[in-house]
Amino acid sequence: MARYTEAQTIARGGFSIKVPETWWEFDVRPESRDAGIRQMINDRIRERPELEPHRNTFEGFLRKASKEAWQSGALYCGCMAESFGGDVPITGSVTVSLVGARTSNGDVMPTDPAAIVAQLGVREAKREGDTYRKVKTVEIPGVGLAARTYGIEDVSVPGDDRTMRVVLMQTFIPVPGQEGKVALVAGSSQILDLAESFFDIFDAVTSTFRFAE
């Protein structure tokens, strides 16, 4: 689904991350994102005319993803939106945010991965098709230990009272020298049937995360 041998490094304030060259990466600021998305779509379709029938689908997905990324406080948003010959493009996104680590009571929490894991709740699916969440620690090469959740979850829609069911992986990486701060790398997709494939993709992208020296 993605070619990790062809990656681009995206540098932002304080960190960098690599995504496949086929992904869409853009400025999430409201004043500039729409024009940037239109230009990227025009450029991509010029290179690959077979994507023209999916223009509106791509634009709608990218606009929605960038808006939600901005509303959630993300500093970076990268999206995949690819047509593999089916009627519906395969879509997913990865965002990076710098957030405060807090307990369910709102108290500042230690950013030690084991402490974060202890606060994150595991959810078992009671029957096929139910939501679930798994929790563990992972080693990010060149960065160190991080806490991670992954599964299929119902998440809130920013600015709305509805929820949507998504494949979701969240990795909480302690920020060196900043008490109570973590870099949250979140990957999500609404293509539930490809959950295991997306877990692999999100893990591969997250493993490229590095703090700037």
Does position 11 have pLDDT exceeding 50, yes or no?
no
Report the pLDDT averaged over residues 152-163: 80
DSSP letter at 209 equals -
In this prediction, residue 68 has a pLDDT band, given cuts at 50, 70 and 90, of: confident
In this prediction, residue 6 has a pLDDT band, given cuts at 50, 70 and 90, of: very low
DSSP letter at 14 equals T
How distant, in Å, are the alpha carbons of 119, 171, 174, 200 from that of 148?
11, 4, 12, 13
Per-chain mean pLDDT for the chain: 83
Q: Tokens for 112? A: 């030690």
Report the pLDDT averaged over residues 104-116: 76
